[in-house]
Amino acid sequence: MSKVLYEKDGRIARITLNRPDVMNAIDMDIPHELAACVAKANSDEGVHVIVLGGNGPAFCAGYDLMAYAETEGSNPGVQEMPWDPMKDYAFMKQNTDLFMSLWRSYRPVIAKVHGHAVAGGSDIALCSDLIVMAEDAHIGYMPVRVWGCPTTAMWVYRLGAERAKRMLLTGDKIDGNEAERIGLIHKAVPSEHLDAEVERLAERMAGIPVNQLMMQKLMINQAIESMGLHQTQMIATLFDGITRHSPEGMNFKQRAEDVSWKQAVRERDQGTFDWTANRSMNAPL
């Protein structure tokens, strides 16, 4: 079964992340299948706009930590020590570039976010052109607390320095209303109105000639790219690898192996674990 679905509906291409049993967690296949679907939409002269969504209870819950953190031993995201930073960079930069197929797409992309768009799932959403969220949905990059740096670096370009620091120096999640208030997304609506709101926006954009849509998107994107997007993503992707192979990052991986990734994530987000010492902050000295 495809992990990313593609459907053409008149002038709208619908791309849907399709691992609903794990909240569309990112595995080795999803970045490639996502980029292939974007390429398919761009090769069709009849497609004017792309709507990107997720099956099941969430848009995307980030990377599949069952595979990358909890499973014992090394994997493409965690090497044995001493690690090769360029090997890690090549792997993660490929994923970043595949997510960025949404940014480079000649057809504008509307991300329809319900449930969660967190960690790597927020990278995917933020590479889109416009984001419409359910008010009760959440977005954030919690791995900045340990074991991650957002490789697409889109937070700073969407929010500016101060608000990006507020998000990335806390690892907090925010709901759709807050995301709209600070300018991270286009709009937040009640969850029961999410589909209708996205359809209205997509239909409005679909009435514009493809070449006009393409020109406006290219013009706006180049302004962002001239601010050093490529260089920032290079640094962010290198830092992401470092976070996973730092002493704290390796302790997080070991903790996930020992007690499950869900427990390790809970301790990370609650701030109840000393990743330097690899012990609970509530444990006796």
* Of 152, 53, 41, residue with least CA distance to 106: 41
Give bridge partners of residue 113 from the DSSP assignment: 133
Taking only the tens place, the pLDDT of each residue in 69-122 is 989 999 999 999 999 999 999 999 999 999 999 999 999 999 999 999 999 999
In a domain, 239, yes or no: yes
User: Residue 284's pLDDT is what?
Assistant: 55
Cβ-in-10-Å burial (0-12, 13-18, 19+) of 133 comes to buried
* Whole-angstrom Cα Rg for the chain: 19
Q: What CATH code is carried by the domain that includes residue 227?
A: 3.90.226.10
User: Residue 59's pLDDT is what?
Assistant: 98
User: Residue 142's pLDDT is what?
Assistant: 97
Number of domains in the chain: 1
Is this prediction's pTM over 0.75?
yes
Strand blocks (E) in the chain: 4-9, 12-17, 49-54, 109-113, 116-118, 130-134, 138-140, 173-175, 187-189, 273-274, 279-280
DSSP string for residues in 40-103: HHHT-TT--EEEEEESTT-SB--B-HIIIIISSS-BTTBPPSSP-HHHHHHHHHHHHHHHTHHH
User: Residue 1's pLDDT is what?
Assistant: 86
Q: DSSP code of 19?
A: -
User: Residue 282's pLDDT is what?
Assistant: 66
CA–CA separation, 189 vs 180, rounded Å?
10
DSSP string for residues in 124-140: HHHTSSEEEEETT-EEE
Mapped onto helix, strand or coil, the DSSP state of residue 272 is: coil
Tokens 């329809």 correspond to what residue?
A: 112
CA–CA separation, 253 vs 68, rounded Å?
9
In a domain, 188, yes or no: yes
In a domain, 17, yes or no: yes
User: What are the structure tokens assigned to 154, written together?
Assistant: 């889109």
C-alpha dist (Å) from residue 255 to 70, 241, 258, 279: 8, 18, 5, 9
In a domain, 223, yes or no: yes
Question: Which residue ranges in the chain fall short of pLDDT 70?
Answer: 282-285
Contact of 198 with 204, CB cutoff 8 Å: no
Containing structural domain, residue 99 = 4-280
In a domain, 285, yes or no: no
User: Residue 14's pLDDT is what?
Assistant: 98
User: Residue 279's pLDDT is what?
Assistant: 79
